[in-house]
Amino acid sequence: MSVLIVAEHRRGKVRPITLEMVSAAKELGDETAVAVIAKDPAAIADQVDVEGVNEILYVKVDAEGFENDVYREALEQVISDRSPHVVLVGFSIDSMGFAPALAAKLGLGFASDVFALRRDGDDLVAERSFYGSKVNAELDFPNTERVLLMIRPTAWPPAEGDGAAVSAEVDVTISASRARHVDFQEVAASEDVDITGADFLLSVGRGVGEKENVGQFEELADKMGATLSVSRPLVDQGWMPSSRQVGQSGKTVKPKVYLALGISGAVQHLAGMKTSGTIIAINTDPEAAIFNVAHYGAVADLFEVAEELEKLY
Amino acid sequence: MRGLTPGLLAETATRDTFAGLETWQIALWYGLIVASVAIFVYGVLRLFLKYRRGRGHEKLGNARERAERVVRVVFTHAWIRRRDSMAGLGHLLVFYGFMVLFAGTVILAFQDDFANPVLSFEFWHGWFYKLYSLFLDVFGAALVVGLTFFAVKRGILRPFRLRYWRPAEPAEPLRDQPRRYELGDWVFLGSLFFLALTGFLLESFRIAADNPSFEVWSPVGYAIGQGFRGLGFEDGAAADARAVNWWVHGVFALFWVSSIPFTKAVHMLAGPAGVAAKDDRAGNRLAPLPAGAKAADVGYAFIDSLLPKHLLDLDACTKCGKCHAACPATATGYPLSPRDLVLDLREVAEGSMGNRAALGIEPTFPEHAQLIGTIKPETLWSCMQCMACVEICPVGIEHVPIINQMRRALVEKGEMDGQLQQTLETIYTSGNSFGETSRKRGRWTRDLDFDVKDIRKGPAEVLWFVGDYASFDPRNQKVSRSLAQILRRAGVDFGILYDGERTAGNDVRRVGEEGLYADLAEENVATISGCSFDRILTSDPHSFNTLKNEYPQFGGEWDVVHHSQLLLELIESGRLRVKKGLGYRVTYHDPCTLGRYNGVYDPPRQVLEALGAELVEMPRNRDNSLCCGAGGGRIWMKELKGEDSPRPSELRIDEAVGLGDIDYFVVACPKDVTMYEDAIKTSGHQGEIELRELSELVYESLALA
Amino acid sequence: MKVLVAVKQVAILGDEVEFTEDDRDVDPDYLDYALNEWDSYATEEALRLVEAAGSGEVVVISVGDEDAEDSMRRCLAMGADRGIRVESVRTLDPIQVARALAEVVRSESPDLVFAGVQSSDSVQAATGGALAGLLDMPLVAVVTKIELGDGKATVNRELEGGLVDVVEVDTPAVITIQTGINEPRYATLRAIKQAEDKEIDVRQPGDLGPQAQRVRRMFVPPKGEGAEMLDGGAAEVAQRIKELVEEKMA
């Protein structure tokens, strides 16, 4: 089974998902190629030259950064040129811009948020969850010759080591880029904290109830020597800036200690913190998904525990 | 004082009403009377026209009962005397003083303008005159005493309820109102004083001038008159003074009468009218939406959306402030005072449809004036719909239904806080406010050592409508289990609806989402109607209220009991054997929806007595109980209390602890359980007092029996 | 201005589950249904744009059976003008759903097509993108702000970590909407009931093409050994947390 991985990069740096996909590809095939679509692929290629990569494809395009149509058209041509059995892209915001469109247009097999893969003879079996992550399912793709999978970040460890990949250039012509990058904006104000640098995060979720209660936890975090972070719902409500958000569409963090209060553990949140050193979770729901990734947990009321913690610090 | 000698009785006791007046002056006088009455009638007519601009009408049945009620309430001052006997007495004096003086004038007019000229019948002399004079003097004095009471209250005692301090800034056009009200009230009081004073002076001057002996029968006037004489002020001087005073008093009196519909005095008319028209079920049975209602028809979005009765309510308000003092929101710094809400609405009504609008006196409002803006949404959302205001109002104002209707308009516009919107959407999707699947409703029964019947599948004596909190909240599930075990021990044949139950909807309705409420009610009625049972039991007063009082609107009419009532029944009938063994010192908190809404005060107390507990009453108990703060859907909304204020529930726990040495704070409502368990901790009294639900105490005593 | 909003009635699974006989799906008895959270944001955004433009219509489109109309009614109650439903069974993969929707879009020729970034039940995050691919329309995914211009729009694409990518996209375009872009208005039940008067046109699907994915089996994931649960009340738990923090931070 030949695998084509689409490297994900931003502002000159390759994103971790790319190397995680190399590990995923090892489960399947013998032939793994990584396509680097960029204005200057050479500048990025080194970062993907790891053990497990046989070939690096330099796909030169005009666009400065990521643009949907550019990636889609380029890939159409790369796929046509290289005929991989499986195409892997990250389950990420960039990929949402081109991967489903590509799969639909080319009639590929498709599944997203895949966290496990295996071969069953000649068949490819991918595992993902359904019904709000409450159940898992194994999928196969009997109707198509080629399959495109969007891979869940942090499901595989990033591949390491020195690779000895051959490089090849693939020429592509882009007819139009109808959604063009204009500018980046850092939404986070520079005065705010960078939670990715913190060693100890105290994180709160919907369990906090009201905006007024957030301050209490900010104070507690301060007392304990932790930085306050939050799950997505609090950012959606406008209670905290997105710079504090841990999760798939927020920041990925890996502190020594991650103390989660009132967080249920939606998959998107877990993706952002489950590799933390020690995870301690407090939730009133004994079935909360967070307990599956936590090292220590307690079924308790976060306010009661917070009150007790305040006394101790 | 001279004694009553036969010679005295020989003098004809009477007086000439128009003594010293020339014909043209008498004619002028009658002309003024006509003018005054005409203005009065015009004013009253304008009020009627204003009320007619309201929308819809309430069917006022029971005319006879209402008439009886009005007569009783007005003449005994039953509603005014509540919780303030000094004010009650004061007003009794003013009222009867005024009434008697008014009656006196009518009697005199009757004689002078009808009996004498038409029937040649003259009765205003002799004993009649003397008794008449006595009466009027005594009651005139009573009037003055009453007015003095009020002046002392307002000026010296200055109770909380009479202060026009507002918890929140009023909207711009109404910023001056508190000042104007203070001034206006003193002017009003002063005007009555002036009338009484000039009246007595009139009498005194006359007596000082003529000194008829029989005028001892007007003791006050006589005394003052003698005083004047003693000072040398008599005969001609006094007669002149009398003449001037006659016109002053007379014209002022006529002016006063004509001004009644335009000033605070209107409460003399609007108050009794409000008492007569009051909806007895105000608050505990709200009005459904008319079928096919359009967005603009929903609730009170405009001033002319109000029911005529509610427009009348706005005029009936005397700013007595009893609602202001009773309101738990006002007490804890929420941006709501029921008094101020009524007064603000009155300003809008007056300024848009009333006399002020006609005369162009600011603040004015457009004819179809929008209410939101002048009334802020957070004012309306602060209400706990606890009915303390409606309960205590002496003139029958229905604050709670008015607020509810205004909330309906807010909800229709989507003008509510995110949490509330979220909860309503959750209720819509999952049929309960916890967002749990319906399957989980029966889960609390799993820890019991017996199976609870599914009443959809087979008949039972009692259908137990459990309610959301009692089904899903862990602390309340304990209470449900206790109650289940009690019922089993008493041999009660009961069943529950399991996943067929939906939120009863009481609070959804109180929040103003009438459509969602109707949907829930219809669903529940359909489910319950398919079951076979004798009566419905509920352990949740909110569900109790709506099942009992409002579900009939949706075709569901059953016998509904609250668990405190059933427990008492079981104890009294012997089906439940309890021993008077619990020697605890307890206090009991009357839940709003059980107590004020439905008058169920005694059964829980009787149950506690049967258990042998020593009940120490809360300072504010029964109809004066202080709401825990969860009502009216507030448990689903973000906190709006004043920054430095405790929550209503914390205030209540402080009250309880203040009673000294209380073992248990006893409640009979699941929301109270939740609110007060929390308040015990957050008020810093943890360890000093504990909470028990009524069922839990009964269950404990069963173990002893 | 015409905006089409693709909406989905998503399934909600509680914590109890049984599977169908073939083990390929959950037994429907265990499911509740609701409007997809992302789609209420998308509908709200469409309504705001049309209201700002002064005239136009918002049309909600969906693929599903008759019950799916409940969710469409929510959108109609919020203010959408009419709906189009493509009759179908629920278990379709996102590419097939996109094929069914593509026919509707072609017949309507809208200025914009909105879809939610993902649905809360399947979280494929694919339907919107697939739709754009089939129609060969410009696409921007995961959008948190839209400003319309002439023949184009300037949108904010929300990237990971709080970064925003400002993109200029030619219109007509497909845009997938992220939560938090606005505050969806509340639809009272009265409005929902009266939305019954608004038209929902039901169509039969054409050729849905091959399935892009097939479920072999569905199962409850085995729970990992999970967390070491701490005993005691809040005070004991807090004490233990303090000890752990000290230990691990050392």
For residue C36, give the chain B residue with the closest CA. B429
Label residue B693 left, alpha or beta by phi (over 0 means left) and psi (-120 to 50 means alpha).
beta
Q: Find all residues with CB under 8 Å of A236, minimum gap 6, and list them.
A: C179, C180
Distance from CA of C211 to the nearest CA of A (A): 7
Measured between CB atoms, which of A135, A241, A298 is closest to C219? A135
Sign of CA dihedral A48, A53, A54, A57: negative
| Chain A partners within 8 Å of B681 (Cβ) | 304, 307
For testing contact with chain A, the best of C92, C144, C165 (most A CBs within 10 A): C165
Residues 6+ apart with CB under 8 A from A159: A19, A20, A22, A23, A26, A50, A51, A52, A53
Asked if residue A203 lies in contact with residue A257, where contact means CB atoms within 8 angstroms, the answer is no
**Predicted local distance difference test score (pLDDT) of residue B80:** 93
Query: Residue B107: CB partners within 8 Å, gap ≥ 6?
Result: B124, B132
Place of tokens 């003139």: B395
Question: Is B120 strand, coil or helix?
Answer: coil
- Write the CB contacts of B602 (distance below 8 Å, at least 6 apart in sequence): none
Looking at per-residue pLDDT, the higher value among B417 and C201 belongs to C201
Dist CA C189 CA B490 (whole Å) = 42
Asked if the model's pLDDT at residue B58 lies above 90, the reply is no
What mean pLDDT is reported for chain C? Answer: 92
Indicate whether B515 pLDDT > 70: yes
pLDDT tens for B180-221 read 888 989 999 999 999 999 988 888 888 888 777 777 788 888
Q: Considering only CB atoms, which chain A residues are within 8 Å of B686?
A: none
Q: Do B638 and A210 touch (CB under 8 A)?
A: yes
Written as six digits, the tokens of A36 are: 């680097």
Mean pLDDT of chain B, nearest integer:
90
Residues of B in contact with C51 (CB under 8 A): none
Confidence class of residue A190 from pLDDT cuts 50, 70 and 90? low
Angle between helices B177-210 and B85-110 (to 10 degrees): 50
Three-state SS for A100?
helix
Given CB atoms, is A178 within the 8 Å cutoff of chain C? yes
Pick C189's closest partner by Cβ from B421, B438, B516: B516
The residue of chain C nearest to residue A248, with distances taken between CA atoms, is C160
Q: Compare all CA atoms of chain C with the CA of B520 and give the residue at the minimum distance.
A: C189
Return the pLDDT at B435. Answer: 84
- Chain B residues in contact with A304 by the CB 8 A cut-off are 681
CB count, 10 Å around CB of B30? 11
User: Could you report how far apart the first and last alpha carbons of chain A are, in Å?
Assistant: 57
Coil, strand or helix at A246: strand
Taking only the tens place, the pLDDT of each residue in A107-120 is 999 999 999 999 88
Q: Which pTM was predicted?
A: 0.87
Confidence of residue B534 (pLDDT cuts 50, 70, 90): very high
| Residues facing residue C217 across a β-bridge | A138
What's the Rg (C-alpha) of chain C?
A: 21
Q: What is the pLDDT of residues B468-496, one digit of tens each?
A: 999 998 899 999 999 999 999 999 999 99
Whether B458 has a pLDDT exceeding 60, the answer reads yes
Contact A50, A43 (CB under 8 A): no
Rounded CA separation B425/B416 (Å): 12
Of B289, B428, B439, Cβ closest to residue C190? B289
List Cα–Cα distances, A180 to A183, C97, C139, in angstroms: 9, 27, 10
- Is the pLDDT confidence value at A40 over 80? yes
Backbone angles phi, psi at A20, to 5 degrees: -65, -35
pLDDT at residue C172 greater than cutoff 80: yes
Burial of B489 (0-12, 13-18, 19+ CB in 10 A): middle
Give SS3 for A284.
coil
**Is B451 exposed, middle or buried, given 0-12, 13-18 or 19+ CB atoms closer than 10 A?**
exposed
Residue B241 pLDDT more than 90? no
Quickly count: other Cβ atoms within 10 Å of residue B107's Cβ.
16
Handedness of CA A145, A146, A150, A154 (dihedral sign): positive
Q: How many CB pairs under 8 A join A and B?
A: 10
pLDDT at B5 over 60: no
Minimal C-alpha gap between B585 and chain A (Å): 28
The mean pLDDT of C134-142, rounded to a whole number, is 96
Please compute the mean of the pLDDT values over residues A273-299 and round it to a whole number.
Answer: 87
Q: What are B99-108's pLDDT values in tens digits?
A: 999 888 888 8
pLDDT value of residue B163: 86
Question: Chain C closest CA to B171's CA: distance in Å?
Answer: 26
How distant is the Cα of C134 from the closest Cα of chain B, in angstroms? Answer: 33
CB-CB under 8 Å, A257 with C216 = no
- B181/B261 Cα distance (integer angstroms): 17
> Assign residue B360 a region: left if phi > 0, alpha if psi is -120 to 50, beta otherwise?
left
A190 touches chain C (CB under 8 A): no
Residue B7, pLDDT score: 45
Choice among A15-29, A177-191, C32-46, C97-111 with the minimum mean pLDDT: A177-191
Of B278-282, B541-545, C18-22, highest mean pLDDT: B541-545
- Which residues on chain C are in Cβ contact (under 8 Å) with A137? 24, 215-219
Chain A: closest CA distance from residue C20 (Å): 13
pLDDT band at B11 (very low <50, low <70, confident <90, very high): low
pLDDT at A106 over 90: yes
The residue ranking higher by pLDDT, B362 or A231, is: A231
Grouping H, G, I as helix, E, B as strand and the rest as coil, residue C215 is: strand
Question: A-contacting residues of C 182-241, CB under 8 Å?
Answer: 209-221, 223-224, 226-230, 233-235, 237-241
CB-CB neighbors (< 8 A) of B411 in chain C: 186, 188
- Share above pLDDT 90 across residues of chain B, in percent, rounded to a whole number: 64
Q: How far apart are CA A136 and CA A122, in angstroms?
A: 22
Contact A211 B639 (CB under 8 A): no
Q: What is the pLDDT of residue B8?
A: 44
Q: Lowest-confidence range among A66-75, B263-272, B434-443?
A: B434-443
* pLDDT tens-place string over residues B264-286: 999 999 999 999 999 989 999 99
CB–CB contact C186 B295 (8 Å):
no
Beta-carbon neighbour count of residue B198 at 10 Å? 18
Instruction: ipTM value, please give it.
Output: 0.91
Q: Cβ contact (<8 Å) for A251 and C161? A: yes
**Would the CB atoms of A96 and C26 count as touching at under 8 Å?**
no
Percent of chain C scoring above 70 in pLDDT: 98
Partners of C213 on chain A (C-beta within 8 Å) are: 109-111, 139-141
The chain C residue lying nearest B428, using CA atoms, is C189
What percent of chain B shows pLDDT beyond 70? 98
The tens digit of pLDDT for each residue in A244-263 reads 899 877 888 889 999 999 99
Which residue of chain A has the CA closest to B637?
A210
Please determine, for residue B9, whether its predicted confidence score (pLDDT) is greater than 50: no
**Cβ–Cβ < 8 Å for B534, B460:** no
**With contacts defined as CB-CB under 8 Å, which chain A residues touch C158?**
93, 249
Q: Is B638 on the interface with A (CB under 8 A)?
A: yes
Taking an 8 Å cut-off on Cβ atoms, the answer to whether B418 and A212 are in contact is: no
The set of chains that have 3 or more CB pairs under 8 A with C is A, B
Tokens 């009155």 appear where? B346
Q: Which residues of chain B neighbour C188 with C-beta distances below 8 Å? A: 298, 411-412, 414, 513, 515-516
Average pLDDT over residues B31-37: 93
Q: Which residues of B touch C36 (CB under 8 A)?
A: none
pLDDT in tens, B283-307: 999 999 888 888 888 999 999 999 9
Q: Which residues of B touch A311 (CB under 8 A)?
A: none
Q: Which of A235, A249, A298 sits opposite C237 (nearest CB)?
A: A298
- The answer, for A291 touching chain C at a CB cutoff of 8 Å, is yes
- Contact flag B411-C189 (C-beta cutoff 8 Å): no
Q: Which of A206, A210, A234 to mutate against chain B (most B CBs within 10 Å)?
A: A210
pLDDT at C91: 66
Identify all chain B residues contacting A284, using CB atoms and an 8 Å cutoff.
474
> How many beta carbons lie within 10 A of that of residue B247, not counting itself?
14
Check residue B175 and give its pLDDT: 82
